[in-house]
Amino acid sequence: MSPRPGLNKQKLVEAAIELANQGGMEAVTMHALAKKLEVRPPSLYNHIKSLEDLRQQLASVAIFELYNDMEKVAQGKEALEAISAISKAYIAFAHKQPGLYEATLIKSDSSILAVKETGDKIVQLFKKVLAVYHLDEKETIHHIRGLRSILHGFATLEQKSGFGIPININESLEYVLHTYFNGIKQG
């Protein structure tokens, strides 16, 4: 069977991103994607191997876009200013593209080198801004994990309307970041 004219892998991935952002990653099914693209499900296999392959493609796009957003805002900034900018970019990405953000959490297939490389770039970005604290490698990784946990928690709670008290969420995030980094300074 030959591929449908006009349909290509990029259009397929873009349609899958739309589905994910509208209904989460569980909304990305071959049936839903075929319906959105107005093709029969078997036609999709001319462009992707499987649903898992598509999810890996979404993970690749997601991690790349997240890194670009964070790296862009970190330029020219140091220490807490850089961490604050990166953190806000992380939260904004999750808010703007909730399904694609969810795809950043997909365990990547080791054969997709781009995902690993971009994930490593994110870690390096955090290491760079944490360098002012003169932490050893192990401490740095612990703090990166802690910060990621904070950011993921904020992003997830915001997506699920978990912040019901009428106090500015950005102020809360800044408060937590200042507290966290004051702890690093004292440690």
pLDDT at 105: 87
Asked if residue 54 belongs to a domain, the reply is no
Same domain, 72 and 97: yes
What integer is the mean pLDDT of 11-35? 96
Res. 2: pLDDT tops 50 = no
Same domain, 152 and 129: yes
Res. 172: pLDDT tops 50 = yes
> What confidence tens digit (pLDDT) does each residue in 104-146 have?
988 766 657 778 888 899 999 999 989 988 999 999 999 999 9
Asked if residue 116 belongs to a domain, the reply is yes
- Give me the domain span that covers residue 44: 1-48
Asked if residue 1 belongs to a domain, the reply is yes
Same domain, 26 and 77: no
> What confidence tens digit (pLDDT) does each residue in 45-84 have?
999 999 999 999 999 999 999 999 999 999 999 888 898 8
Same domain, 35 and 101: no
Biggest CA-to-CA distance, the chain: 65
What integer is the mean pLDDT of 148-157? 94
CATH number for the domain including 44?
1.10.10.60
- Output the CA torsion sign for 114, 54, 100, 38: positive
Same domain, 161 and 133: yes
Residue 187: which pLDDT band, with cuts at 50, 70 and 90?
A: low
Asked if residue 3 belongs to a domain, the reply is yes
Residues 12, 48 contacting (CB under 8 angstroms): yes
**Backbone angles phi and psi of 14, in degrees to 5:** -60, -40
Asked if residue 172 belongs to a domain, the reply is yes
Residues 6+ apart with CB under 8 A from 119: 63, 108
Residues 150, 180 contacting (CB under 8 angstroms): yes
Enclosing H/E stretch for 11: helix 9-23
Asked if residue 29 belongs to a domain, the reply is yes
Same domain, 82 and 139: yes
* SS3 state of residue 4: coil
Query: How many structural domains does the chain have?
Result: 2
Q: Which residue intervals of 75-136 are DSSP H helices?
A: 79-96, 98-103, 113-130
The C-alpha atoms of residue 88 and residue 170 are separated, in whole angstroms, by 8
- DSSP state string for 39-67: S-HHHHTTT-S-HHHHHHHHHHHHHHHHH
